[in-house]
Amino acid sequence: MAGKQMLSTVDQSEGSENLNKDLEDYEIQQVLKNGTDLREYALQIDKNIKEAEKASVADYLKESSNIGSLHNQIEECDGILERMENMLLTFQKRSVNMSVQLSNRQSLKGPLSSFIEDIAVSETLILQRIYDSACYTKSKTNFCQRTRVQRD
């Protein structure tokens, strides 16, 4: 009956959903079954929380040097990871640039090859022209020498 009186004092604005959630908690159900005063129970919980807080602070102080060391290690790792990220971003930019260059070169390869084939003069033609030019030059040289000899 005491449990029912305590429940009637619960603020109705919180809604039945919160109440059902709390009632699902096994420990609270046991407290209500035993007829324990909720104020005393709340004080005990508050005391337990304060003890846990003190223990937590003591653990923190005990481990503070380790925590500081861990913090420094994490900062060093962050620095290393940042440098690696910058390196990878640089590599990625270079890779993209190289990919664009390769794509441009491949797109020009076909038309440029055709143009070179059309404009190029074969080696045999060049050699024949050089031979013909050399013969022509030799005949002119011979003519000049003969006319000079005749004048002298």
Separation in Å, CA 13 to CA 5, 9, 16, 22, 29: 17, 11, 9, 15, 21
Cβ atoms 3, 35 nearer than 8 A? yes
The residue-averaged pLDDT of 120-144 equals 88
Q: Is-above-0.75 flag for pTM?
A: no
pLDDT in tens, 79-106: 999 999 999 999 999 999 999 999 999 9
pLDDT in tens, 44-86: 889 999 999 999 999 988 888 898 899 999 999 999 999 999 9
CA distance 128 to 82: 67
For residue 37, what are the contacts with CB-CB under 8 A and spacing of at least 6? 2, 6
| Structure token digits, residue 22 | 């709390």
